[in-house]
Amino acid sequence: MDTLEIRNVKKKYKNKIVLNNISLSIKGTYGLLGPNGAGKTTLMKTIATLIPLEEGTISFGDISWENDQSVKPLIGYLPQYFSAYKTMKVYEVLNHFAVLKGITNKERRMSELDSVLENVNLYEQRNEKIKNLSGGMIRRVGIAQALLGDPKILIVDEPTAGLDIQERVRFRNLLRKIATNRTIIISSHIVEDLETICDHVSIMNKGNILFEGTRQEILKVVNGLIWEKELQPESVMVGNQL
């Protein structure tokens, strides 16, 4: 599998530095961890060609981001706020996205729609309207549209935002399932999301990479700085009462 090489990427909005000379080598499942405003979404949108590359270079094998038309077929993207027409059925939504992605052959398109629906465990709900789906199911529709065209690079921004605990676990399991033979980049401010999915993690803040390494290397860095303690219910402060 090729490596996504990001070298010296910079981005400014007016006088504010949003990405400050970012250089990363991304392969497998890769997490971007940081608070809101860290620059994660800007970096991911730049990789997805939704924001133009101003300074620096990005490449994947022999494909360069200087020619964004050659990059687009490589990319599947799920934004943080994915939405679709609520009165449309799941199958109709995905068919619409498939056409937009250039899958014009009807036989191929129907086959691919069935395949991605099976992959995200939504085949039984294919004729349900979007408005009748849970938040977790809508996120799975979002992943399904991102998988159309079998992209080599899948970009997922805040994958479990707004989901309850059970839906969050299901979505993490789904991301692990589809990680084979593709690069997946996941942005989150929730440590558990990246801890259970990603092989490598970068910590971002204010447009800078503060740390990059494996999960094990991050655990070594914070060793002795984080503690866990089990408390009994009667010892926990509630309001002004013990």
pLDDT digits (tens, 9 = 90+) for 72-91: 999 999 998 888 889 999 99
What's the confidence (pLDDT) of residue 84?
85
Mean pLDDT of the chain: 88
CA distances to 49, 63, 79, 99, 104 from 108, in Å: 26, 26, 26, 11, 8
What's the confidence (pLDDT) of residue 239?
54
Band (236; pLDDT cuts 50, 70, 90) = low
Band (122; pLDDT cuts 50, 70, 90) = very high
> Domain 4-235 belongs to what topology?
Rossmann fold (3.40.50)
Q: Is the pLDDT of residue 234 over 90?
A: no
* Domain residue ranges in the chain: 4-235
Composition of the chain by helix, strand, coil, percent to 5: 35, 25, 35
Q: What predicted TM-score, i.e. pTM, was given to this entire model?
A: 0.86
What's the confidence (pLDDT) of residue 242?
47
What's the confidence (pLDDT) of residue 113?
96
Q: Which helix (H) or strand (E) holds 59?
A: strand 55-60
What's the confidence (pLDDT) of residue 241?
52
What's the confidence (pLDDT) of residue 192?
80
What's the confidence (pLDDT) of residue 196?
81
For residues 39 and 192, the model is more confident at 39
Q: Give the 3-state secondary structure of residue 130.
A: helix
Q: Please name the residues in contact with 114: beta carbons below 8 A apart, sequence gap of 6 or more.
A: 123
Query: pLDDT tens for residues 44-61?
Result: 999 999 999 989 999 999
Q: Is the pLDDT of residue 240 over 60?
A: no
Q: Give the 3-state secondary structure of residue 129.
A: strand
What's the confidence (pLDDT) of residue 225?
66
Band (169; pLDDT cuts 50, 70, 90) = confident
